[in-house]
Amino acid sequence: MSMKNLFSNFKGDLFGGITAGIVALPLALAFGVSSGMGPSAGLYGAIFISFFAALFGGTNTQISGPTAPMTAVSMVVIAGIVATNDGSLEKALPAILVVFLLAGLIQISLGLLGIGKYIRYIPYPVVSGFMTAIGVIILVTQILPTIGYYPKEDIEFVNNFKPMAEEIILENILKEEAGEGILVLEDFKETISRADEITEEATLKEAQTLANSEASGVIGALKVLPRALNNIIWLELILAISTIIIIYGFKKITTAIPSALVALIVVSGVAYGFDLNYRTIEQIPSGFPMPNLGIFTEFELGSITPYVFTALTLALLGAIDSLLTSVVADNMTKTKHKPNKELVGQGIGNSIAAIFGGIPGAGATIRTVVNINAGGKTKLSGMVAGILLLIVLLALGPIASQIPAAVLAGILVTVGIGVMDYKGLKAIPSLPKDLSLGPIKFSSEVVIMLVVLVLSSVWNLVYAVGVGLVIASLMFMKKMGDLTAEHSNVKSLEKEVNWPDEAAFPLSLQEEVFIKHLKGPLFFGSTSEFQQMADQIPETASTVIIRMGRMQYMDQSGLYTLEDVLISLRKSGISILFVDVLKQPRYMMERVGVIPDLIPEEQIFDSFDECLIWVKSNVKDQFVTS
């Protein structure tokens, strides 16, 4: 983009970037705390990803930064590496940042290899289950800080882990000696003398690490919940609940000012002004962020190897997260993003953020929408958002360090509630039961979503998505096998060619009526081509006929894509007619209300001849010459 184009919408981009930056501030701090690396890591991530992903990316209006899904996976990475480094974040930091840097470099590689266009093949139920699981993880893990309970500060709980802590310390001494060649029978005195060095302080520190580990994740949080409920710090709970009430309540007054920021300022101001004895967030370092050169000098390759797959997952998740937001931006601005360029931009942003000690991120839907609505149109808006956050860091770092931890926990609770896929959850009862296990019938789409949701919540986010994709692929192959046995001439969507029975279509109405043929299944792999249908419609068209006689199957992804296109056409004042809708697609459309809410029965025809009679009666030639 040339400098002239970059500043072509300066006022709109300035206002859009500032507004998006203000929305991003409380979330960046909250995601940083939630990740385990502290509020400054969230702020650094937001600053560098926002600026560089905008500068090098392929979506002009995209605002990037830490997001709920990226933070949830980062949390797992951070907790795992810290646990193998004696519970010390400082010792673990170089290895953690190398994983984040690796994720950024993988994203750059994906973009350069042209993988961006294949991201759309992730089926909707997998994305739906994953997003709902992210919401569950954030909600459950924030229960403890919301009520002011921190496991490593509960002395009675920590004491339970002291025997195990002593065993681990002794085991580490034996491993060290084995590596040094000291551990031999005649020199066992060395072991005894080292064992005497197991201090109460070292044991307590290891026990606190074990206690934290025991209470981490969804299962861990639920395990210690009864104990936590007996140790509620009421001030912390009141601060968190006040934050949540303001976030939801202020939205009803106005959406012009971000409610999360209002909650952050009001509740923090009251807590600080009345000198309440609240828990603050970690100190935010003042001054410009400095690169963490330890990632190039202090880490051991062996400590990274187990996390290469996780780095790949972070990269792919960031790619999906960003490109889904890019599609939203496209729909709002009537532009078209460049997926591979966007991946390169995201990768550069995440790589630089990692070098400066920030957590990884992706394109953020809410921040992008806010930017567009506030007037942002070019890459400058994302860069402005990053610069604004840097100014906040430099000018307000010490003040931000006084924010109550409970306020950020309250903000995260609202993020957890908001990130869940309610559209997918509401559809569960209505989706067709297309598979059977003996007498029990169930929906394959629901099974995939629930498997991903449950496994992500209680087991592993990374593996859950993999399992979901495998199940989705197997079920899809079975369905396609069944269908192709019945219909051997299944073809994908292709360029429009008139069918024989359209030869008699009136020439005078060919500019007003656009005919779309659907051939073969409308599923998660073909939705992108169908979305392009709106671009094919000439401006003169007032009516669209969609012929479905050769579309035997539609999955949930296809259903929602069709719904979005129909809503868009309706908004443009275009009449839509369906011809020869087959049993399974009709059933899907009826279950979610596409039929009759968007397409009433009188606009559905069994044959093209019946449709033609309606067209001749209802569509007028707009280009009649007098």
DSSP string, 84-145: TTTT-HHHHHHHHHHHHHHHHHHHHHHHHTTGGGGGGGS-HHHHHHHHHHHHHHHHHHTHHH
Position 225 in a domain: no
Q: 459 and 400: one domain? A: no
pTM of the predicted structure, to 2 decimals:
0.79
Q: 446 and 399: one domain? A: no
Q: 27 and 109: one domain? A: yes
Q: 400 and 431: one domain? A: no
Residue 608 belongs to what domain range? 507-618
Position 457 in a domain: yes
Q: 469 and 594: one domain? A: no
**Is 593 in a helix, a strand, or coil?**
coil
Q: 355 and 458: one domain? A: no
| The pLDDT of residue 88 | 81
Position 267 in a domain: no
Contact in structure between 48 and 349 (CB atoms under 8 Å):
yes
Q: How many degrees, rounded to 5, is the angle at CA 170 between CA 169 and CA 175?
A: 95
Q: 386 and 453: one domain? A: no
Instruction: Tell me the CATH number at 560.
Output: 3.30.750.24
Choose among 394, 433, 370: nearest CA to 23.
370
Show the low-confidence residues of the chain (pLDDT under 70). 1-6, 120, 176-197, 298-303, 480-496, 525-526, 623-626
Token match 């004895």: residue? 277
Position 101 in a domain: yes
Distances (CA, A) of 130 to 321, 433, 465, 502: 11, 22, 7, 45
Q: 324 and 290: one domain? A: yes
Q: 571 and 514: one domain? A: yes
Of 451, 486, 521, the position where a domain reaches its end is 486
| The pLDDT of residue 246 | 95
Q: 452 and 395: one domain? A: no
On the CB side of 20, how many CA atoms lie within 13 Å of its CA? 40
| The pLDDT of residue 626 | 43
| The pLDDT of residue 182 | 55
**Is 73 in a helix, a strand, or coil?**
helix
d(CA 46, CA 353): 8
Q: 308 and 430: one domain? A: no
Position 137 in a domain: no
Distances (CA, A) of 525 to 168, 476, 501: 50, 11, 29
d(CA 342, CA 241): 38
Number of folded domains in the chain?
3
Position 181 in a domain: no
Can you read off the two tokens belonging to residue 300?
A: 């051991």
Choose among 406, 408, 390: nearest CA to 286.
390
Position 48 in a domain: yes
Q: 463 and 393: one domain? A: no
**Cβ contacts of 468 within 8 Å, gap of 6 or more:** 125, 126, 129, 130, 448, 451, 452, 455
Report the relative pairing of strands 513-519 and 440-442 from DSSP bridges: unpaired
Contact in structure between 290 and 356 (CB atoms under 8 Å):
yes
Position 55 in a domain: yes
